[in-house]
Amino acid sequence: MSRKKDTKRFLKPDYKYSSKVLSKFINKVMLDGKKTIAEKIVYDSLDELAKNVSEEPLSAFNSAIENVAPKMEVKSRRVGGSTYQVPIEVDELRGTGLAMDWIIKFSRSRKGRSMVMNLSQELTDAYNNVGSSAKKRDDTHKMAESNKAFAHFRW
C-alpha cells in the first residue's frame, strides 16, 4: 500500500445548474475523455426529462437519483472457510454513486435510439420508480433482506 495520505479530490459544479451531483453524473457518462459530448447528452436528456415529468430539470434529476439509490446491500465475508453474504447499510455517497452507475448502465444497454433518448427515458423511469434501475435497487434490497440472518457477521 502507498504511504501517501489519501486526499479527497473536490470536483467543480457544472456550469449550467451549479450542481456537484450533476457534475459527477456527467463525469460518469463521459467516455474517452470527451466531456463536451457527455455534457450535451446529459443536458439534452435533462430537458427531455423535464418535458416528461413537468418539473424543474434539476429537482427531477435529484429525485430520480434518490429513488434509485439503495439503502442496503450485501458484502461477502469469509468466516471459517465459508463465504456469507452479509447485509450492510449503504453510505449516502455510495448510494448515489450506485444509482448513477445503474442508470447509465441500463440506458446504454437500451437499443434502437440515441443515448439522449435512452438516458432521458431511464431517468423518467427512475423518477417514476419503475424500470430497470428501480428493479436493480429492489433486487439489492431483497438480497439484503433474505440474508438478514448473517447480519451478526458484520464488523
CB atoms within 10 A of CB 121: 19
- Is domain 20-153 annotated with CATH 1.25.60.10? no
Q: Are 84 and 77 in contact (CB under 8 A)?
A: yes
Q: Which of 93, 105, 98, 96 is nearest to 132 (CA)?
A: 105
Convert the pLDDT of each residue in 56-77 to its tens digit. 999 999 999 999 999 998 888 8
Residues of the chain under the 50 pLDDT cut: none
Q: Note the pTM of the prediction, 2 decimals.
A: 0.88
Q: Are 104 and 42 in contact (CB under 8 A)?
A: no
